[in-house]
Structure formats: structure tokens, C-alpha cells
Chain A
Amino acid sequence: MSTRDSLEFDVLVIGAGPSGLSAAIRLKQLANEAGQELSVCVIEKGSEVGAHLLSGAVFEPHALDELIPDWKDKGAPLTTPAREDHFVFLTETKAHKFPVTPPQMNNHGNFIISLGNLARWMAAQAEELGVEIYPGFAAAEVLYDEQGAVKGVATGDMGIGKDGAKTANYTPGMELHAKQTIFAEGCRGSLTKTLFETFNLRDGVDPQTYGLGIKELWEIDPAKSQPGLIVHTIGWPMDAKTYGGSWLYHMDGNLVSVGFVVGLDYANPHLSPFEEFQRYKTHPAIRPTFEGGRRIAYGARALSEGGFQSIPKLTFPGGLIVGDAAGFLNVPKIKGNHTAMKSGMVAAEAVYEHLTGGSNGREVVEYPERLKASWVWSELHAVRNIRPGFQKGLWAGLANAAFETATRGKAPWTLHHHADHTTLKKAAEAPPIVYPKPDGVVSFDRLSSVYLSNTNHEENQPAHLTLKDAETPIRVNLALYDAPETRYCPAGVYEIVRAEDGTAPRLQINAQNCVHCKTCDIKDPTQNINWVVPEGGGGPNYPGGM
């Protein structure tokens, strides 16, 4: 370990998503305006900026207006204005449009975007300001100084073989040191998770609760394209106890972004979010959009749904957490990009003030204070009770949502969350679900889907999906829950294989398929699966448009 070289920066940002890039841009804006030298470095585990970004996405430009007011002149890829909102309740055969769209889902003034393209554009803006961005480098380890403060991260070693030994191409990781490290890893960040434990950042807050979003990008028949049309559905194919719903957004260029989110607090271990999504597309009201089109990309990503009551302590000596790694998603709006960006900007302002104001403290305590005074806080506070209201099922959830919306979150109570890995029932106590076979026209199997994520991991490396205990997958997961990882993983990473006579089951981990959604790390009932970063550059290569 002592052989690692190190590099020094003023501020280091982990992850080139909307929050990390916003933080980097804001920092350099402030430094450049004041004529201050400030080195800002962003590292990103994807092979390029945007390679791992996946979002619907209907984008509220609020934060971008504040960050780069002339974004339009600078060519930001916000080209499809939201035009029409439909909020639809599906039964197995019928679709009922709600006469009014809930106010949080009114998207007037918003844009349908590709988050990957937005980040690629933001990265170019950041580089112009002097930010250094290095994609293909995964932050694998948090580094601490003698006082226990975070002093930076180490990137992963490259060229370690499957057996754990160095190959001819071995390149040791680098130590990146900084006065402040901003963790912008996104939902369920693998280093953020260790920070929660080291600094007890989750003490006194609700557990985070998550959703899994699975998305496809389609090129549809030009005759059916209606750029700006936004359709959200609830109801079928989810049962009334399970939180979930779909999005379908028409973009320019005959592209359609379609996806399905399932709350990871679901109870039935037989449920397969991937197959729920596939069967959703076969609904008579949905299917026609895709007939005559072709699917061009596929991916999946977990998102934080805990909202206000699940926000952890955001700072610790030497660093802080921004974006969905902390969990600022507004669930009823199903949007988190604007809040993620704003949190990055607020953090940047606090860090800049801290570093230039001669403060000796290692912890940027100004960041949470400033965030609490910003619109992020009031926006999340107002909707805090809506998502937990759905724990009692769809109809109770909708009634509660209507009440909370009417009273603007002024109710004196706050509803609470459970950790998602605790919610599964035993397989024997839950009804089995039979999913239809994919038709190859609008619905597909897992492997042909994963193929379209362009995911790739260097073959000769240790699996980055690690098991704390090798026996648990069979002894607990298979025996009690019928191996739910084989169903909730949207990339076919987990497989139970047996000897020819059907005995001796074992869990096979196809780590190469992984699309970095983090669902296994979240939902595994005994928290036996630990997701760590693979070699930098590995993982999906989502195309622009995703």
C-alpha cells in the first residue's frame, strides 16, 4: 500500500453526476470571480462522463437557472419542453386517465432530457472553468488522517487478476488528497455507505428507503412521436400493496424514454421488477407506442425515496455528502436532479467560504445550515409524508397524498420508513407470481436487455459483488426467500445453478453483467451482499439519450 503515489487538490469530488458537477462548477465560479487559485478534481467510475447516469428524466431547470443562467446560449441539451401531462391508472385491460394531474406532476416549464447528455454538457462547462475531470477512475477507499478526518480517497488498483494476484498490467491505485472531499456517488454510494458507519451519520434519522428504476430508450414509429408528451401510470401490473409506477416520455428525434419504478420495500420475494416492467409494456394502452419501433438502450438504477426524514448528517471532518448519495429526491415529483444540483451548489458555496474564510475546523458545518435555509429543505419537508403513506397500500397512500398536498405538509406528524431489506416475507407465505414469456416485440428477456446497456467489465478481475458469508445465499436466501436476488437484479447477475440431478445448488455471480444499480446491496435480506467498485471504466456505457 505504501507504494501508492499521491496527488493534492483543494477539493476532490467523487462522481461526475448532476450534484458533483454542480459543486465543481460552483466552486470554480466563486474562485475565478475572486481571482483565487483553487484546484478542483472530479473522478468518475464510468468510462466517460454520463456512462453511468440513468434518469427519466423530466428536468426542473430551477437549479440550472441559478448555476448557469445563460445555459440556453451555451447550448445546454434542454431541447424538449414538457407539453402535456397524463396521469393514468391502469387495470389489467383498461386505462383511466385522472381528470386532474396532481400538482407535483404538473411539468409546465420543465424539460424532457437525457441526464447523461446534460452531464456531458456540464462537464464541458466545468472544464472550461478549470475543473479537472477524470473518468475511468473509481474511488475505492476512503483515506483518513491521524486525527480520523477524511483526507481523500484512493482509486482502485488496475490489473488485479481473478485470483487476487497482480497481472502483467498491474497499475497501483493513486491516493488523491484534498482539504475537502465531496462525496457525490449517487444513490447508495459504496464509499458513502462506509462513511455513514464511520461517522454514525445515520443516527437519529429514518433508514433510507429506495426504489429501483428500470429504463429503456426506444426509437418509435415517427407517426406516433409526440415530443413533450409525459405519461405516468400507477396501478397494474403492481398489486395494490406494492409501490410502483411507470413513466413514458416522448422526446425529439422519435425517441421515447420508458421505465418503471418499483419501491424496494416490496414484500413478495417472488416479485421481479424487471418482469413487471416488461409486462407493463404489453398493456393494451401502452403497447401500440412501441409496435413498429426498436429498443436501443437499457439500464437500471436505484433511487433514494426516503426524502426528508431519511437525510443523514451531511458533514464530517474533511468531507461532506451531496446529491442522491444523501437522498434529496422529491418522491411525488419523482425528481431529484434539481435538488441534487442545488445541494452540490450549496455545498460548494459553504466549502469555498470555509476554505477561504480562514476557518480552522475540518468540518464544513455551514453546508447543512445553508441547505436548511434553501428551497431544497422546504420542498422536501412539504412532501415528507407522501411516500411513507404508501406503506399501507395504493389507495391509503393516494388518500394520504391528497391530504398532504392539500395541507402542504403542514401536518404536525411525520410518517416513518423501514429499511428495505427487512420487508420481504418468506417465500412460502407469499403468493407466487407467474410472468408471461417475453414476446420479442415489446417485451424481452434479461440477457438481451443487459446487452443493450453496453456494460462491460474487464474479465480477469475479482468479482465486485462480494459476499460477507459464502453460505448465506443458499442457507438463508434460497431456503427462506427462494433466492430473490435472481429476480430483483435487473441484469441477471445472480443465478442459482444446480448439479444435473438438481441437487447441490450454488449461487453463481455473473459480475460482468452488473449495471451498477446497487439493488442487491440494498435489498439482500441479510445484507450479505456488499457492492464495491470494480476496475475504473467498468460498468454500463449508456449512450447519449439515456
Chain B
Amino acid sequence: MKVLVPVKRVVDYNVKVRVKADGSGVETANVKFSMNPFDEIAVEEAVRLKEAGKASEVVAVSIGPATAQETLRTALAIGADRAILVQTDAEVQPLGVAKALKALIEKEAPQIVLLGKQAIDGDCNQTGQMLAALLGWPQGTFASKVVPGDGVLTVTREIDGGLETVELTLPAVVTTDLRLNEPRYASLPNIMKAKKKPLETVTAESLGVDLSPRLTTLKVAEPPKRKAGIKVSDVGALVDKLRNDARVI
């Protein structure tokens, strides 16, 4: 059983993201990039499936610039077998990514597509769902537990107020939540081996997919700064402030 793991190159989670001076977007020049943490969880889970003898091959896929090769090498160091980069310098949006993945999936024929529930840059939380819809496959989103069975996958989902367990008939799309696993440290020998694993680069055109953005960003702004709090002397002053300044009562 083959597992396909789409991974995204995003601004590293340690970086304090800053809006460009002209408000056209987020500063990405001179900024550290790394793999979307939710995707790292997806890679880890796929590798664990393989180590448990439940999966035969783990293929990592990324859609993005040439530098996304580094992200794919990270996936290979964690334990993916090979990688495919759909190279594009254009801004990628969930629908375009889902279409490109669909085209690749038709070629690769995986039984499971395992990906992060969202990327920490756009926080869209759309790609997995759109992909399932385009493929007409069942989906198990926000997975905190994945148990493979005979032609099925039992997925425990994190939902508001608790956990929901669903059984998906394969092939299926699963998106990962934070508690699914804790990714391993890539060891030095595995990083070395990853340099020699196959990494194929294709273009979006060769897949017959139009990646051009459907959404236009009008403006990016930082959230308003929170004002410093004040101390009030007594209850009367508090009620007065709430009524007349904050206008909440």
C-alpha cells in the first residue's frame, strides 16, 4: 500500500512573522523556511505505517519553488522513500494545489494521502478537503489516531467537544492534527542517506494543471496593538469605565 504525503515549505514556526512595509504581504526575504509542522506529523505517521508493515512505500510531494527540495529532503530524512517536486514560482493556493495533487495521484495511485490539516502560513485548512472532493474519496480530517484495517482506515478525529471515530474505505484522504504523533529527530546517517534518495522534479504544465491563483490579496495588516491596561480605584469607577469608555454595559 502506497502512502502519498504532500508537504509545504513555510516560514519557520520560530520566526516572528512581519508584514511588509507596503502591506502587500508577509516578509519572506531573509527568513528561515522549514516544513509545515502539521506535514511533518503526516510524514512521521506515514513512516510509522511503513515501519509497522502496513504501508509499502512513502512518497513525499511538494508544490512550490526549487528551494522546496530542501523540505522534501527533510521528509526523506525522516523516512520517506522518494520525493516529487511540482516546481512553480507562482503563489500557490489550496485549489491549485489540490488539482495538482489529484493529477499526481492519478499517476501514482496511492491508497492513502496523508497531509497536514493546514499550513501555518495561510492557515487555510482547505487543501485536504478540496482534494477529497476532487477525487471523490472519503476524508478523515484532524486525525489524532490512524489505525489501518482490511481495506479500511479507522480515524479518530479531534472535533469540538471531543473525539469522533470514523471508518474510511480506502483509498482515502487523512489530514493530521497536532496530537497524532511527535515527529522524530532526523539522525545524521538518515540525513546523509536522504541526499541520495530519488527526487523527481516536474512542472505543473506537464501535469496539465493550471496553478494560477483564484484569490487576490488586497491588503495584509498586523492586528491592532493591544492598549495597556489601567487600574481602577473602586467598583464605581469600573462600572463607569465599562459603561462610558468600553460601552459594554
- Least CB distance from A6 to B in Å reads 10
Kindly report which residue of chain B lies nearest to residue A293, judged by CB atoms.
B21
Q: Is the CB of A456 within 8 A of B16?
A: no
In the assembled complex, B187 has its CB within 8 A of some CB on chain A? yes
In the complex, how many residue pairs between chain A and chain B have their CB atoms under 8 Å apart?
A: 52
Which of A48, A171, A456, A543 is the one whose CB lies under 8 Å from B30? A543
- Least CB distance from B242 to A in Å reads 27
- Least CB distance from B108 to A in Å reads 30
Which of B31, B185, B188 is the one whose CB lies under 8 Å from A543? B31
How does the 8 Å CB contact mask read for B11-35 relative to A, with 1 for contact and 0 for none?
0101110100100000001111010
Q: Is the CB of B30 within 8 A of A545?
A: yes
Report if A117-B30 is in contact (Cβ < 8 Å); known contacts: A7-B188, A171-B187, A454-B15.
yes
Q: Is the CB of B189 within 8 A of A174?
A: yes
Residues of B within 8 A of A545 (CB): 30
Residues of A within 8 A of B21 (CB): 219, 254
In the assembled complex, A47 has its CB within 8 A of some CB on chain B? yes
Report if A5-B184 is in contact (Cβ < 8 Å); known contacts: A543-B15, A543-B32.
no
- Least CB distance from A148 to B in Å reads 26
- Least CB distance from B226 to A in Å reads 13
In the assembled complex, A155 has its CB within 8 A of some CB on chain B? yes
State how many residues of chain A have any CB contact under 8 Å with chain B: 29
Q: Is the CB of B188 within 8 A of A134?
A: yes
Residues of B within 8 A of A174 (CB): 187-189
In the assembled complex, A159 has its CB within 8 A of some CB on chain B? yes
- Least CB distance from A291 to B in Å reads 15
Q: Is the CB of B188 within 8 A of A48?
A: no
In the assembled complex, A85 has its CB within 8 A of some CB on chain B? no
In the assembled complex, B150 has its CB within 8 A of some CB on chain A? no
Q: Is the CB of B14 within 8 A of A452?
A: no
Rounded to whole angstroms, the CA-CA distance of A408 and B187 in the bound complex is 52
Chain A residues 508 to 546 lying within 8 A of chain B, measured CB to CB, are 541, 543-545
In the assembled complex, B182 has its CB within 8 A of some CB on chain A? yes
- Least CB distance from A452 to B in Å reads 6
Report if A137-B16 is in contact (Cβ < 8 Å); known contacts: A168-B182, A545-B30.
no
- Least CB distance from B125 to A in Å reads 25
Would you mind naming 25 contact pairs between A and B with Cβ atoms under 8 Å apart? A7-B188, A47-B12, A51-B32, A117-B30, A132-B192, A134-B188, A155-B188, A159-B185, A168-B182, A169-B182, A169-B184, A169-B185, A174-B188, A174-B189, A451-B16, A452-B16, A454-B14, A454-B16, A455-B14, A541-B14, A541-B32, A543-B31, A543-B32, A544-B29, A544-B31
Q: Which 9 A-B pairs have the closest CB atoms?
A: A544-B30, A158-B185, A171-B185, A456-B14, A545-B30, A454-B14, A541-B14, A174-B188, A543-B30
List chain A positions with a Cβ less than 8 A from chain B: 5, 7, 47-48, 51, 114, 117, 132, 134, 137, 155, 158-159, 168-169, 171, 174, 219, 254, 296, 451-452, 454-456, 541, 543-545
With A7-B188, A169-B184, A454-B12 already in contact, 8 other A-B pairs whose C-beta atoms are closer than 8 Å: A7-B189, A51-B32, A117-B30, A132-B192, A159-B185, A454-B32, A541-B12, A541-B14
